[in-house]
Amino acid sequence: MPRVNDSIPAGTSAPISALILAAGFSSRMAPAFKPLLPIDGKPMVCRVIDLFCNADIHDIVVVAGHNHERVEAAVKTTPARVVLNPDYASSMFSSIRTGVGVINRQSRGFFLLPVDIPAVRLSTLERIKDAFRKNPEQPVIPCFNGKTGHPPLIPATAVPSIQHAGPDKNLRDILFAKDFTCLALHDRGILMDVDTPEGYEMVKAKLAQKQVPDREECLSMIEAELSGEESLKAHLLLVEKTAMILYDALLPALPGLNPALVRAGALLHDIKRKSPHHDRAAETFLLGMGFFEPAAIVASHMTLENPSETPGEKEIVYFADKVCAGACLDLNYESRFRRKARDYPQGQERIKQRLETARYIHARINAITGRSVKEILS
């Protein structure tokens, strides 16, 4: 068993450890061994280690059991330490007990993540850490759409209870016996595991688009940020529908378009509609979750400088928004813009520029598809 690591890097405050469970048989994935399945060109266990390293976590323990020699070989060049659970066949809880015995004694708490849940976002770990700092005596358990997931962040004060729990206990009994923080997040990855070949393919697809929220995640954000704003929600859904129809029409000529990015930009462009300068507020909101490309789209949905001659995701979302007046499709958007310019003379130049941009994108869609926008959207 490895020595308990008591060293803390200089300048580190309130250290947190990470415990990765990689001791199981992977029976439902046989003959494949889950910790070594490739994710992003490296073994899954290394992908999870990288996640914690990027979250500035320095004490990372991998609990191995079945095929432990292969796990040790895979992680030998990483900062993680491997500990063998000789009783791995009995239960996952035995691996948790083994792991907590060697985490850094100075840690305030530890993340717990099975190796087969690798699609958690870095921003999710940061949000969990922030919540833990506010109340470091309570476990923080992430949830998505009301379902709890991984990784919980467990206070170090729970370690004795884990080590001395009776044979009839499990981790849930310990975590839920006292107060805990259930942290609502917009990350479906906390629920996605690699238990089957189908689950493996879904996780790989999720990670391939890790910088873009999927539709369920977008709807989760909308529900949280725009609760009760039914007319605005209807507008977002119509812009999504319109943008995806335009995407389908353009795809034969522009195969490089990213449908997930079009959908996310359309659904989230007004996510901060109730805030001043809502385009910039939405950009900041998405940047905080690591969604850089969607953030750029929502930041330009009001004013798009220098639209591309070849419409991309920004142009599609911009134009879809302009032809959706509330929850109604309005292809006579030019008249609407002119009325707005008349009603708001102080913003005439800005409104005129937005109209010119919409007209330009409109013309480019017509030319590239060989069809009129009216025909495409009918």
Domain ranges in the chain are 16-208, 228-377
pLDDT of residue 14: 62
CATH architecture of 228-377: Orthogonal Bundle (1.10)
* Residue 6 pLDDT: 53
Q: Residue 211: CA atoms inside 13 Å, Cβ hemisphere, count?
A: 9
Query: Is the full-model pTM beyond 0.85?
Result: yes
Query: Would you say residue 185 has pLDDT above 80?
Result: yes
pLDDT digits (tens, 9 = 90+) for 133-146: 999 999 999 999 99
Residues 45/46/48/53 CA torsion (nearest 10 deg):
150
Q: What is the pLDDT of residue 174?
A: 84
3-state secondary structure at position 152: coil
- CATH number of 16-208, picked from 3.90.550.10, 3.40.50.360, 3.40.50.720, 1.20.1260.10: 3.90.550.10
Q: Quick one: tokens of 354?
A: 């937005």
Collect contacts of 251-257 with beta carbons under 8 A, ≥24 apart: 253/368, 253/369, 254/310, 254/311, 254/312, 254/368, 257/312, 257/313, 257/316
* 124, 185 Cβ separation under 8 angstroms: yes
CA-CA-CA-CA torsion for 112, 115, 121, 123, nearest 10 degrees? 30
- Give the per-residue pLDDT at 11: 43
* Least confident span in 110-114, 311-315, 345-349: 345-349
Contact 302, 357 (CB under 8 A): no
Q: What is the mean pLDDT of residues 9-19?
A: 71
Amino acid letter, residue 213? P
Element (H, E) at 299: helix 292-299
Single-letter code of the amino acid located at 203: V
- What per-residue string of b and e applies to 191-211 under the rule 16 or more CB within 10 Å gives b? bbbbbeeeebebbbebbeebb
Based on its alpha-carbon atoms, the radius of gyration of the chain, rounded to whole angstroms, reads: 25
Given a contact cutoff of 8 angstroms between Cβ atoms, the answer to whether 80 and 51 are in contact is no
> Tokens in use for 5?
């690591």
Of 166-170, 265-269, 319-323, which gets the smallest average pLDDT? 166-170
Residue 24: per-residue pLDDT: 87
Cis peptide before 151 (omega within 30 of 0): yes
Percentage of residues in the chain having pLDDT higher than 70: 96
Residue 160 clears pLDDT 80, i.e. is over it: yes
Q: Which contacts of 161-170 are long-range, i.e. CB under 8 A and separated by 24 or more positions?
A: 162/96, 162/97, 162/100, 163/97, 163/100, 163/101, 165/93, 165/97, 169/93, 170/91, 170/93
Confidence of residue 27 (pLDDT cuts 50, 70, 90): confident
pLDDT at position 28 is 76
- 310 residue type, one letter: T
Q: What is the mean pLDDT of residues 256-261?
A: 97
The pLDDT assigned to 40 comes to: 87
pLDDT band for position 12 (cuts 50, 70, 90) = very low
pLDDT digits (tens, 9 = 90+) for 282-301: 999 999 999 999 999 999 99
In this predicted structure, what is the pLDDT of residue 9? 46
Among 66-75, 230-239, 311-320, 344-353, the least confident range: 344-353
pLDDT band at 345 (very low <50, low <70, confident <90, very high): confident
* For range 28-42, the mean pLDDT: 89
6, 106 in Cβ contact below 8 A?
yes
